[in-house]
Amino acid sequence: MARLVGNALIGQSGGPTCVINRSLVACVEELRKAREVTGIWGARHGVEGILKEEFVDMKGQSPAALAALLDTPSAMLGSSRKKPKSDDCQKIFEVFKKRNVRYFFYIGGNDSAQTANIINELARGEDYQFRTFHIPKTIDNDLLGSDHTPGYGTAARFVASAFMGDDLDNRALKGVKINVVMGRHAGYLTASSVLGKLDRDSGPHLVYCPERKFSMRRFITDVDRVYRRLGRCVVAVSEGINKGKGPKKLIVYEAGMVMLRPGVRKELPKDEHGNPQLSGTGILADYLVYRVRKALEPKYEKTGKKLRVRGDTFGYLQRSFPGVMSEVDAREATAVGKAAARFSLSADIDGSVVIRRKQGRRYAVEIDFLPLTDVAQGERRMSKGFINAAGNYVTKRFINYALPLIGKMPKTGLLKAKPVKKRR
Amino acid sequence: MARLVGNALIGQSGGPTCVINRSLVACVEELRKAREVTGIWGARHGVEGILKEEFVDMKGQSPAALAALLDTPSAMLGSSRKKPKSDDCQKIFEVFKKRNVRYFFYIGGNDSAQTANIINELARGEDYQFRTFHIPKTIDNDLLGSDHTPGYGTAARFVASAFMGDDLDNRALKGVKINVVMGRHAGYLTASSVLGKLDRDSGPHLVYCPERKFSMRRFITDVDRVYRRLGRCVVAVSEGINKGKGPKKLIVYEAGMVMLRPGVRKELPKDEHGNPQLSGTGILADYLVYRVRKALEPKYEKTGKKLRVRGDTFGYLQRSFPGVMSEVDAREATAVGKAAARFSLSADIDGSVVIRRKQGRRYAVEIDFLPLTDVAQGERRMSKGFINAAGNYVTKRFINYALPLIGKMPKTGLLKAKPVKKRR
């Protein structure tokens, strides 16, 4: 087989993660070894940069400069939320032809696989020799075809650590604590809140994922039950909890309708259906705190107990906090970047890199690839077996699945001290 | 001098920190060496546990059990927000006499120094042989008499790391990002947001502390100026920003008045003046986002640019996140716990342990103590020389002061790649 001579272009897309730059560096380093790859370029801000021909030279980067990116969170080339339409894809293909781009790597979620696929079809239609690979990344862990996705393990480690610390905090100053976790459609990240628990009575005591319909009544009953037993309760809630399909069924939408003055609500950013977009704010946590207080405070006041209820929204820290990294996730982010370059150099093939977990007691994976369309066609939700029947916690099966992905947690412990006998 | 034989009691108070258990462990280990200390007890939930005689045995803890607490965030004995009134202090003193408590250590802020002082005065009045030391801790860094306070360095490291990551995130997906940081009266923690900057144009670009009056008009002008220059802007805001003294002058109060429906606002928890207490929620960040959008969005829309504005509230993670620790802070938290025990065993003295920074180019401290009243009498604000004249950023002097306290930051870097020449 004749080698395909030409330039390589790499882009990053979607929400940043802490390990996405590892995939970038690994891909660049692998491409460097191949003589047929003449230029190695990075596209600034994904498809936006490609459309504007804003490329940077990655071949000229020193090994030290690349090494400095390994532990640096966020997409170093810049990212983009743009989903290119078919005429954008046509323009992108024109740029590729003009610049002799023969290898294209797009690091991102299922939209990125879709983009790579459309451009690939255009190339095929014109008999333009071209190879493209989608390199998976998302903290949501919702890509089809893979056991799990690079970016998830580190974000899950952050969330597990945050809940470990927050539960310890809530043992010291007791109350009800509600934390909102990223993940609009998939509950994987919210579910990972349980992975740092120090004992059976550690929080989170309740976990709500978007895959199950949320009932405010049951939620409050759940909180009350835990609080009565322990005098404290830590709750993990996905930002995407809902009463059914569609933006108006989101609890965050209800939060806006109940809490905000109509004039303020009107001014909030709208989604494509004209409904107020309420993500990226603290209102869901605030609303759940409000509902719990309203329902339970009077009850506990009667017994002379002051109910303390607080809410936090973990926000962007979940995907970009430096210095907290799952070593497993970091290793695999490197592996998928390297594999994408190798696959593309090995034969006239295209695809989306996937991670498969090997059978067996010890955690091990193999890196393979699937047709782009297999990964592009949708999102993966939490499997039914990962959420308990009541819809308010995860199962042992989920813990077995997720625990190997977050790496070794920091060493911590609970004080187990005997009470000193009281004296009359 | 005759040795004072009797029991020792240790308590923890106020907001948890990541290193407060180090002070506890160090104090216990030092007391163990002294034969005159018969029992070493921990009080559950500070003064609340003392009033109820809820003590646990700390002498019986194995070295391994104590070692497991070193990297465990939050107050392991349980904490308390209770400020004991004078009759509470009298009751506490009665408990001390009954249980032959001769050594009392209270780890906390200035309220804890105050409590220790009142009990000490009662003991003195009755000629009850008694020694007490206040052990400093607070993430707010607002204790009088010390150069800085254990707990601050680690919380500052968390905030600096969070802003480093969030700025990288905001470079990848550009916009205005507003983050609310803890610290109601003192701006030290908010100011620490600048300590992880990777270059001159890294965020935070603007920093607002509670020590300066906040002007919404100037804030929006500042944001606009940075955004016009860089196409992005990261802002650090203290939860305590205000238009003057008193709860009604807090911007978070204004946020509630402007954004929330009156019925909802009415139901929120009240402070001692009957004003809605709005801390521990995301409303301040949401409000600042709303104001920036309202003021600037129409302007940028005219130029065809979609302004992206987001807000996060870092919340309790700042004080309790495991696995992120300043080694300097950890060492000093151990040192103050040990010093308190040693001082109390050395002579008939009482006081509050303080940290003094030594003169010289290399960072070094000495541990000393001051009379309890010196530390109990108030809170320390940021010195004027730490905030710039415009009141929207910190000074070089602040950076020189704070940088040695947060330890070595994670290795990260920015991509410095040359643009590839465009082709016509």
CA B249 to chain centre: 22
**Chain A closest-CA separation from residue B12 CA (Å):** 9
Asked if A25 has any chain B CB less than 8 Å from its own CB, the reply is no
Asked if A175 has any chain B CB less than 8 Å from its own CB, the reply is no
Rounded CA-CA distance B226/B235 in Å is 10
B312/A311 touch (CB, cutoff 8 Å), yes or no? no
Chain B hits for A260, CB-CB cut-off 8 Å, are 259-261
A290/B268 touch (CB, cutoff 8 Å), yes or no? yes
B323/A78 touch (CB, cutoff 8 Å), yes or no? no
Rounded CA-CA distance B300/B282 in Å is 26
B267/A286 touch (CB, cutoff 8 Å), yes or no? no
Asked if B77 has any chain A CB less than 8 Å from its own CB, the reply is yes
B74/A316 touch (CB, cutoff 8 Å), yes or no? no
Rounded CA-CA distance A330/A408 in Å is 13
Nearest to A109 by CA among A138, A89, A80: A138
Look at residue A279 in the predicted model and tell me its pLDDT. 76
Half-sphere exposure of B189 (CA within 13 A, CB side): 34
Chain B hits for A61, CB-CB cut-off 8 Å, are 415, 417
**Chain A closest-CA separation from residue B397 CA (Å):** 26
B27, B279, B412, B421: best to mutate for the A interface, most A CBs within 10 A: B412
Q: Which residues of chain B have pLDDT under 70?
A: 1-2, 272
8 Å CB contact between B78 and B44: yes
**Chain B closest-CA separation from residue A360 CA (Å):** 30
pLDDT tens column, A188-199: 999 999 999 999
Q: Which two tokens stand for residue A252?
A: 């965050």
Rounded CA-CA distance A330/B104 in Å is 48
> Looking at A88, A111, A127, A140, which residue is catalytic?
A140
B positions 47-76 inside 8 Å of A (CB): 53-58, 60-61, 65, 68-69, 71-76
Look at residue A72 in the predicted model and tell me its pLDDT. 97
Residue pointed to by tokens 């990116």: A69
Mean pLDDT of all residues belonging to chain A: 95
- Which chain A residue has the Cα nearest residue B173? A79
The angle that helices B152-172 and B327-346 make with each other, rounded to 10 degrees, is 170
User: Any bridge partners for residue B310, and if so which?
Assistant: B177
Rounded CA-CA distance A295/A408 in Å is 40
Q: Choose the closest CB to A98 out of B18, B420, B423.
A: B423
The angle that helices B327-346 and B20-32 make with each other, rounded to 10 degrees, is 40
Rounded CA-CA distance A135/A133 in Å is 6
A to B CB pairs, distance under 8 Å: 267
Reduced to 3 states (helix: H, G, I; strand: E, B; else coil), residue B229 is helix
B286/A282 touch (CB, cutoff 8 Å), yes or no? yes
Asked if B270 has any chain A CB less than 8 Å from its own CB, the reply is no
**pLDDT at A1 exceeding the cut of 70:** no
Question: Could you tell me where the DSSP H helices lie in A42-151?
Answer: 47-51, 63-67, 86-98, 110-125
A281/B289 touch (CB, cutoff 8 Å), yes or no? yes
- Look up A166 and say whether it is catalytic: no
**Chain A closest-CA separation from residue B261 CA (Å):** 5
Look at residue B210 in the predicted model and tell me its pLDDT. 97
8 Å CB contact between B29 and B342: no
For the ranges A120-134, A334-348, B270-284, B408-422, the lowest mean pLDDT is seen at B270-284
8 Å CB contact between A322 and A143: no
Asked if B302 has any chain A CB less than 8 Å from its own CB, the reply is no
Asked if B279 has any chain A CB less than 8 Å from its own CB, the reply is no
Per DSSP, the residues of A87-110 read HHHHHHHHHHHHTTEEEEEEEESH
Look at residue B52 in the predicted model and tell me its pLDDT. 97
* Domains assigned to chain A: 6-150+323-376 (3.40.50.450), 156-316 (3.40.50.460)
Q: Choose the closest CB to A57 out of B258, B320, B417.
A: B417
CA dihedral sign of residues B360, B361, B365, B371: positive
Residue pointed to by tokens 């895959």: A211
Nearest to A153 by CA among A30, A277, A329: A329
Q: Which two tokens stand for residue B136?
A: 């400093």
A75/B411 touch (CB, cutoff 8 Å), yes or no? no
CA distances from A107 to A22, A336, A374, B310 (A): 11, 10, 16, 24
Q: What is the DSSP letter of B204?
A: P
Q: What is the DSSP letter of A18?
A: S
Chain B hits for A18, CB-CB cut-off 8 Å, are 165
Reduced to 3 states (helix: H, G, I; strand: E, B; else coil), residue B265 is helix
Asked if A257 has any chain B CB less than 8 Å from its own CB, the reply is no
Q: What are phi and psi of B125, to 5 degrees?
A: -60, -30
Chain A hits for B61, CB-CB cut-off 8 Å, are 415, 417
Nearest to B214 by CA among B274, B272, B288, B141: B288
Question: Could you tell me where the DSSP H helices lie in B204-261?
Answer: 216-230, 251-259
How do B233-238 and B176-181 pair as beta strands? parallel
Asked if B316 has any chain A CB less than 8 Å from its own CB, the reply is yes
Look at residue A270 in the predicted model and tell me its pLDDT. 82
Just list the catalytic residues of B.
140
CA dihedral sign of residues A213, A218, A224, A228: negative
Helix (H), strand (E) at residue A11: strand A6-12
Rounded CA-CA distance B197/B171 in Å is 13
* Sheet of strand A233-238, all strands in order from the earlier edge strand to the far edge: A206-208, A233-238, A176-181, A309-313
Helix (H), strand (E) at residue A56: strand A55-57
**Max CA pair span of chain A:** 93
Burial readout B302-332 (b: 16 or more C-beta within 10 A, e: otherwise): eeeeebbbbbbbbbbbbbbbbbbbbebbbeb
**pLDDT at A393 exceeding the cut of 70:** yes
Look at residue B263 in the predicted model and tell me its pLDDT. 92
- Which chain B residue has the Cα nearest residue A290? B268
Nearest to B190 by CA among B207, B173, B204, B177: B207
Rounded CA-CA distance B136/B151 in Å is 9
Asked if A322 has any chain B CB less than 8 Å from its own CB, the reply is yes
CA distances from B285 to B207, B226, B311 (A): 14, 19, 5
Asked if A161 has any chain B CB less than 8 Å from its own CB, the reply is yes
Percent of chain A past pLDDT 70, that is, above it, reads: 99
The CA R_g of chain B, rounded to the nearest whole Å, is 24
Q: Choose the closest CB to A71 out of B290, B322, B412.
A: B412
Task: Give every CB contact of residue A297 below 8 A, 6+ residues apart in sequence.
Answer: A307, A309
8 Å CB contact between B382 and B186: yes
Rounded CA-CA distance B98/B281 in Å is 43
Look at residue B423 in the predicted model and tell me its pLDDT. 84
Asked if B85 has any chain A CB less than 8 Å from its own CB, the reply is no
Half-sphere exposure of B75 (CA within 13 A, CB side): 28
CA angle A38, A44, A47 (to 5 degrees): 95
Reduced to 3 states (helix: H, G, I; strand: E, B; else coil), residue A394 is strand
- Which chain A residue has the Cα nearest residue B316? A166
**pLDDT at A395 exceeding the cut of 90:** yes
